[in-house]
Structure 1
Amino acid sequence: MAALCGAVLWPCVALSAPADVGQEQEAVVTLAQVVAVRPPPTEMLRGVVDSVDEGNDTIRIRLSADKTEPFKVQDGLLFNAVRFGDPVAITVQNISGARTIVGLSKE
């Protein structure tokens, strides 16, 4: 019975093998390139909400006594979560050339 199954299935196995070893290696290289894609680096910052500008999708954070910086907001629901004066910890990524808040927690 095993010999019969082998005789029937052998042509299918032979047909499913890659026709060109170069194609197989190219597929492995392409897969390796996809796996090598890394998420953008993140930065953790702490500060106090200085202003909220929902019309421009930005929140301005006071990072120190003399430094205030605007950040784009990835998720518009953050506008409902913070108010002027709230101490926050934010996670920032550079998305499309703009420093963008991708995570926020109140402290």
Structure 2
Amino acid sequence: MQERRFFHLILTLAIAGTAMPAYADVSEQQQATVALAEAAANHPPATETLRGVVDSIDERSDTIRIRLAPDRTEPFKVQDGLLFNAVRFGDPVAFSVQDISGYRTIVGLTKE
């Protein structure tokens, strides 16, 4: 399980464009990974706040489609599945979005 977390962290860092030095000793490599993870923790992902109207809810794919303008709707992943119980079609909402694993993800939502 620890190897899986280690691989996931390295993959995340690679996607973010952070260079990982090539060490022969695994323990040094793990120490470098921890240092990079700590550095990443000090720089939280950017959060964008948006407003819109709930257009559709798709619990199977963990997404909510929100109408941001009369001619523009976008799907957003949901970080917390309890949001599906909090909103319905047509609800005006204000929500916070972060890019998580390549998906624009709702990390906070309030009904207006």
The alignment's TM-score, normalised by the length of structure 2, stands at 0.65
- Find the structure with the greater CA-based Rg: 1
Tell me which amino acid in the other structure corresponds to 2:38.
V
Partner of 1:88: 93
Partner of 2:65: 60
Q: In the alignment, is residue 51 of structure 1 matched against residue 40 of structure 2?
A: no
Unaligned runs of 5+ in 1: 1-29
Tell me which amino acid in the other structure corresponds to 1:65.
P
The alignment's TM-score, normalised by the length of structure 1, stands at 0.68
Q: Distance in 1 between matches of 2:83 and 2:51?
A: 16
The runs of at least 4 consecutive aligned structure 1 residues that moved more than 2 Å come to 30-37
Unaligned runs of 5+ in 2: 1-33
Percent identity over the alignment is 73
Tell me, what secondary structure is at the counterpart of 2:64?
strand
1:55 is displaced (CA, Å) by: 0.5
Q: CA RMSD in A?
A: 1.9
